[in-house]
A and B are shown apart, each in its own frame.
Chain A
Amino acid sequence: MPRKTPLNELHRAAGARMVDFGGWDMPVNYGSQIEEHHAVRREAGMFDVSHMQAVDIEGHDARAFLRRAVANNVDKLATPGRALYTCMLNERGGVVDDLIVYFFRDDWLRIVVNAGTAAKDIAWLERLRGEWRSQIRITPRTDLAIVAVQGPRAREIVWKVFPQVKSATEALAPFNAAIVGDVMVGRTGYTGEDGFEIVLPAANVANAWKALAEAGARPCGLGARDTLRLEAGMNLYGQDMDDEISPLDAGLAWTVDLAPGRDFVGRAALESRGQRSDFLGLLLLDAGGVLRAHQKVSTPAGEGEITSGTFSPTLSRSIALARLPRGVAPGAMVHVQVRDKQLAARVVKLPFVRKGKILVETKETA
Chain B
Amino acid sequence: MKTPKELRYTSSHEWVRRDGDGTLAVGITDHAQEQLGDIVFVEAPAAGRKVNAGEAVGVVESVKAASDIYAPVAGEIVGANADLSGEPQKVNEDAYSAWIYRIKPSNAADVDKLLDAAAYEKSAS
Contact residues of A with B, CB < 8 Å?
A: 17, 28-29, 32-34, 223, 227, 287-290, 292, 310-311, 313, 318, 339
Contact = CB atoms under 8 A, between A and B. Distances in A.
Q: Does more than half of chain A's interface fall in helix, strand or loop, or is it mixed?
A: mixed
30 contacts: A17-B35, A17-B37, A28-B64, A29-B37, A32-B92, A33-B38, A33-B64, A34-B38, A223-B37, A223-B63, A223-B64, A227-B63, A287-B85, A288-B41, A289-B43, A289-B59, A289-B61, A290-B40, A290-B41, A290-B61, A290-B63, A290-B66, A292-B66, A311-B38, A311-B40, A311-B41, A311-B63, A313-B63, A318-B40, A339-B59
B13 to A, nearest CB: 16
Query: Which of B35, B40, B66: most chain A CB closer than 10 A?
Result: B40
Contacts of B59: 289, 339
Interface size class of B (residues with CB under 8 A): 10 to 19
Nearest to A341: B43
Contacts of A290: 40-41, 61, 63, 66
A32 B34 CA distance: 10
Nearest to A222: B64
Nearest to B92: A32
A249 B10 CA distance: 45
Nearest to B38: A34
Interface in B24-48: 35, 37-38, 40-41, 43
Closest 8 pairs between A and B when the two form their complex, measured CB to CB: A311-B40, A290-B61, A34-B38, A311-B63, A33-B38, A33-B37, A33-B63, A32-B38
A316 to B, nearest CB: 9
A227 B63 CA distance: 8
Contacts, number: 42
Contacts of B38: 32-34, 311
Query: Which of B35, B37, B66, B92: most chain A CB closer than 10 A?
Result: B37
A256 B43 CA distance: 43
A339 B58 CA distance: 11
Interface in B56-76: 59, 61, 63-64, 66
B43 A34 contact: no
A227 B38 CA distance: 12
B85 to A, nearest CB: 7
A290 B67 CA distance: 11
A126 B63 CA distance: 39
A28 B34 CA distance: 12
A339 B38 CA distance: 20
B12 to A, nearest CB: 18
B37 A28 contact: yes
B18 to A, nearest CB: 30
Contacts of B41: 287-290, 311
Nearest to A316: B40
Contacts of B37: 17, 28-29, 32-33, 223
Given A32-B92, A289-B66, A311-B41, 11 more contacts: A17-B35, A17-B37, A32-B37, A33-B37, A287-B41, A288-B43, A290-B41, A292-B66, A311-B38, A311-B40, A313-B63
Given A288-B43, A311-B40, A34 B63 contact: yes
A32 B62 CA distance: 11
A130 to B, nearest CB: 42
Contacts of B40: 290, 311, 318
B50 to A, nearest CB: 18
A339 B41 CA distance: 14
A25 B120 CA distance: 28
A132 to B, nearest CB: 43
A288 B92 CA distance: 19
Interface in B79-93: 85, 92
A294 B82 CA distance: 30
B113 to A, nearest CB: 29
B92 to A, nearest CB: 8
Contacts of A227: 63
A17 B92 CA distance: 15
